[in-house]
Structure 1
Amino acid sequence: MAETDHSSWRLPLEICEKVVQFVEDIDDSDPFGERTRWSLYSCALVCRDWVPISRICLFRRVELADDRTAISFMDTVVASPGLGVYVQDLTIDLDQKQKGWIYQLLQVLPPRLPNLDHLEYRKLPVLHPLFFGLSPRFTTVSSVRLSLLERWSFREIVRLVSGFKNLKKLEVLSGRWVPSESFYVPRKSTPLKMFRIDCGLLDKDTTDLVRWLTKKQSIFPLDGLHLTCHKMSVQSQHFSELLLQCSLSLKRLKLMWDQITYNDHLVLDRTCKRLVNL
């Protein structure tokens, strides 16, 4: 099938199941057997009507970009449960108008994706409290990414991720949130190996968020922080204090920046020297 001919990607589930059965019969002694098996599984899975917007490919990734693809994917894994075991990376990209399908996804998918490791929510609006109780049903997830969030407070972020028992990595990318210290985390969270913040603006909200993280490690423990910032102007004194606080509290601190203007290079130079000597 030509890759550009999306209308031809309509193989019925029966054909997919025959391909999967053929894969099961491949001799394990075949040196190329494992590679062939994964390739054919992927072929069976991508030849569905929810491709190419949403697919399981060689790296076992599915992206649900609208309600149609979400419904089709749910129908697929319900009709053929064996296909869901190969999904390791799931992205849910549903906007405000489609948010009703999120709850159905979270009720249907978790038991059918037993090997899911990475979960991403993209452009997700603030949702009903039921959402926070359903998301942690993905019990195998160790990495969560929240992209392009709108109107989320850090309260909701912590409330969401604190339910994931095996979470080791949390990324908050290019969103707008309001940090808050006045909330309760329901249980002691599993230590995160890395918390990543990718922001276009290092403003008071972001610095307050980082400051809160370093102070509240008894309930939100961190091993490291990865802070990425782009095209901004910051007061170096304020930034220096933030870096020093992080360096004293965290085992690992990774910083990335691009096109940043500092108002006081001397203070920043002193900060960098102190960081090196810690």
Structure 2
Amino acid sequence: MPPPYIPPEVTDDIISAVAVDECSQRRAHTLAMCALVCRDWLPRSRAKLFEYICIEDQRSYDLLVQRIARSETMVQYLTSVTTLHIDDSHVEHSLSSAVRLFFVEFTGKLPGLRDLLLDGIYWTHQRPSVKWPLLLSQFRTITSLRLWSCRFSSFNDVRRMLTALPLLSILDIAYLEWPAVSQLHLQTTPRSRTYWPELHTLYIEYSMTLWQCAETFLKWITPALGGSAVKELTFHFYGLHTP
């Protein structure tokens, strides 16, 4: 008796459902196993596998570049990427030096990217350049940006990076820092324009140890929100001493 026939559209729906609400590690393992079942399962399994990419070290970055981005047969799957997580929250911050290269290497290759999470990136590892924060403008499809515990050479780099993404609907800022300088030297008053007309969720988190950075950011972001449709605003500030 021949094995039962299952239409491809049914197996595609099953594979898509498998990946829902799983942690990234289990999700990747499940989809990798699905890809090995048979040839018919490979396209959807591989496409779903590429929806979420997490780069945690130099090796994972090098593999992504060499085996995917520069491969004529594999580069097509980068169009499936919707979420990118670059995690350099390790003590040595060895990945930070490659982050700017990422935005150059992958320009035009991630047309479906919507959610970008940068965790622990030390942008101070880059050579000073006025243009590097604007590299993010090549990924204008991003609607959700999360910057956690990143270090910048100046507040102006933060400002340029954020204003390079006009389609933001979700912005999550936590513990960003840069060298403290006199407020007189900072351009904290934005021009009269709407930077993020679709922004509806804003989350800001800081601690008392970074109060100067928090103050600078709030002085800039408050008028910059003019014209934005923010409906959900969350601000956490830890370490305040109450009498």
Is contact 1:38-1:58 (8 Å) kept? no
Whole-angstrom distance in 2 between the partners of 1:64 and 1:45: 22
Is 1:33 aligned with 2:12? yes
Match of 1:115 in 2: 112
Superimposed CA distance per residue, residues 103-153 of structure 1 (whole angstroms, 9 cap, x where no aligned partner): 331122232222111112222223343421222211211011111122454
Are residues 37 and 197 of structure 1, via their aligned partners in 2, closer, same or farther at CA, if it must alter by over 3 Å?
A: closer
Superposition pairs of residues 43-192 of structure 1, within 5 angstroms: 43=32, 60-78=51-69, 79=71, 80-94=74-88, 97-126=94-123, 127=126, 128-129=128-129, 130-177=131-178, 178=180, 181-182=186-187, 188-191=194-197, 192=199
Bigger drift between 111-120 and 97-106 goes to: 97-106
Alpha-carbon separation, structure 2, partners of 1:100 and 1:46? 33
- Higher strand fraction: Structure 1 or Structure 2? 1
Q: State percent identity of aligned pairs.
A: 16
Greater relative contact order, per chain length (Cα 8 Å cut-off, separation 6+):
2
| TM-score under structure 1 length normalisation | 0.59
* CA shift in 2, pair 1:206/1:183, >3 Å: closer
Q: Deviations over 1:24-70 (max 9, x none)?
A: x9622x2x4312257599327999xxxxxxx9976932111222211
- Number of equivalenced pairs: 201
Instruction: Check whether the contact 2:79–2:110 (CA below 8 A) recurs between aligned residues.
Output: yes
Kindly state the Cα deviation for residue 227 of structure 1 after the two structures are TM-superposed. Answer: 0.6
Runs of 5+ consecutive residues of structure 1 not aligned to the other structure: 1-24, 48-54, 235-261, 264-278
Deviation at 1:163, TM superposition (A): 0.8
Q: What runs of 5+ residues in structure 2 fail to find an aligned partner?
A: 1-5, 20-27, 37-45
Read off the aligned partner of 2:196 and give its amino acid letter.
T
Cα distance in 2, alignment partners of residues 27 and 45 from structure 1: 13
Whole-angstrom CA distance in 2 between matches of 1:64 and 1:142: 20
Distance 1:213 1:157 in 2: 11
Larger radius of gyration: 1
CA RMSD of aligned residues (A): 3.7
Preserved contact between residue 60 and residue 87 of structure 1 (Cα < 8 Å):
yes
